[in-house]
């Protein structure tokens, strides 16, 4: 029973992170029918920006939690700006071009960011400083949950609830959904679709930066190829939930996190990737468009 609860805690933590990152894939796909392959790298760029803030860029003497909060704020702002710039430079000029051109551009942007991280922060694994956040650990029914895990779970839930409310209950959120359904019809409503697209490249990377920094704080390390590893998992989460569908990305992230945790806890963590893909294949066999997706896979 202790193991079970422990895996649920681990799964929700990782799942929350996957979900935050998966939202960026799904929202961009929703409005542009494009897989932003650079998204995972943007998220990890967020982790590195945060790391720089945490490892004394401001000089010593600041209280840990305040420093962590500041790291989040700076990472979110930096990665949002990077996201908008990415869309402007890599995707907007190709909006009317062949779909393959945008895919190649996305892969190129991914490599560029990854190598940029390596040039700035080096190729080695960078360790996150310790002692910034309370080391408190609570014990419940034979399982333990740390402060960082509680923080990740709560913040993920709050951010997802906020996004859900924004997209479903505000005028601009409705405009985003409309543009995802039919861009020309959205234009006829007076919606500036370019602004909608930019907003998606702010929201997705902002949530992704939080996710990326969570990864750094949780595993206490960051390395330049990490965007690929976590990006792939989050992307799979988005597909499991139904790519393009916002609640789907949340559900897919949490499900995949739980599944990974149980695989690591009961089977072996070396089987984790195999089990992830088995889950993906099983779900796509039953529901080709993902758990909450309506469209059967169309244009790639």
Partner 1 sequence: MSLLEIADLRVNYGEIEALKGVSLAVAQGEIVAILGANGAGKTTLMRTISGLLAPRGGTIRFDGAEITKLGADRIVQRGIAQSPEGRRVFGTLTVLENLRLGGFTRPRGEIMGSLDFVLGLFPRLAERRAQFAGTLSGGEQQMVAIGRALMAKPRLLLLDEPSLGLAPIIVQAIFRSLREIARTGVTILLVEQNARMALKLADRGYVLEVGRIVLADEAKRLLASPDIQAAYLGGESSAHRV
The neighbouring-strand residues paired with 140 are 143
Which span (17-25, 128-136, 183-191, 255-263) binds partner 1, by CB under 8 A? 183-191
Q: Does 286 bind partner 1 (CB under 8 A)?
A: no
**Residue choice 101, 189, 274, 297 for contact with partner 1 (CB under 8 A):** 189
Number of residues binding to partner 1, judged by CB under 8 A: 18
Q: Does 299 bind partner 1 (CB under 8 A)?
A: no
Give the 3-state secondary structure of residue 104. helix
Contact 91, 32 (CB under 8 A): yes
Q: Does 89 bind partner 1 (CB under 8 A)?
A: no
Contacts of residue 99, defined as CB under 8 A and 6 or more positions apart, other chains included, come to 33, 34, 299, 300
Q: Does 33 bind partner 1 (CB under 8 A)?
A: no
Which span (1-9, 20-28, 112-120, 181-189) binds partner 1, by CB under 8 A? 181-189
- One-character DSSP codes across 127-156: EPPSSSS---EEEETTEEEEHHHHHHHHHH
Cα(137)–Cα(10) distance, rounded to whole angstroms?
A: 13
**Residue choice 33, 62, 92, 177 for contact with partner 1 (CB under 8 A):** 177
Q: Does 187 bind partner 1 (CB under 8 A)?
A: yes
Cα(223)–Cα(298) distance, rounded to whole angstroms?
A: 35
Interaction with partner 1 in 155-174: which residues (CB under 8 A)? 171, 174
13 versus 245: smaller Cβ distance to partner 1? 245
DSSP structure class, residue 125: P
Q: What's the chain's length in residues?
A: 300
Give me the residues that bind partner 1 (CB under 8 A), please.
171, 174-175, 177-178, 181-182, 184-193, 294
């Amino acid at each position: 029973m202790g193991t079970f609860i422990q895996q649920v805690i681990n799964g929700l933590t990782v799942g929350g992170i996957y979900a935050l990152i998966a939202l960026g894939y799904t929202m961009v796909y929703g409005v542009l029918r494009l897989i932003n392959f650079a998204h995972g790298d943007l998220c990890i760029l967020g982790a590195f920006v945060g790391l720089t803030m945490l490892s004394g860029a401001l000089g010593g003497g600041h209280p840990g939690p305040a420093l962590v909060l500041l790291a989040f704020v700076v990472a979110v702002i930096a990665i949002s700006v990077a996201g908008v710039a990415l869309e402007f430079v890599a995707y907007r000029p190709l909006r009317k071009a062949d779909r393959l051109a945008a895919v190649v551009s996305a892969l190129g942007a991914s490599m560029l960011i990854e190598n940029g991280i390596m040039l700035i922060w080096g190729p080695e694994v960078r360790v996150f400083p310790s002692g910034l956040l309370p080391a408190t650990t609570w014990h419940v029914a034979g399982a333990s949950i740390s402060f960082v895990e509680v923080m990740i779970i709560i913040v993920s839930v709050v951010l997802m609830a906020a996004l859900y409310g924004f997209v479903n209950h505000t005028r601009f959120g409705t405009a985003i959904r409309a543009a995802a359904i039919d861009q020309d019809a959205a234009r006829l409503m007076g919606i500036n679709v370019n602004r909608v697209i930019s907003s998606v490249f702010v929201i997705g990377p902002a949530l992704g930066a939080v996710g990326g920094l969570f990864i750094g704080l949780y595993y206490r390390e960051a390395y330049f190829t990490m965007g690929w590893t976590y990006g792939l998992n989050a992307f799979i989460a988005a597909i499991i939930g139904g790519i393009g569908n916002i609640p789907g990305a949340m559900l897919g992230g949490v499900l995949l996190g739980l599944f990974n945790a149980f695989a690591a806890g009961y089977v072996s963590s070396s089987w984790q990737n195999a089990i992830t893909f088995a889950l993906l294949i099983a779900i796509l066999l039953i529901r080709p468009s993902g758990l909450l997706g309506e469209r059967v896979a169309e244009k790639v």
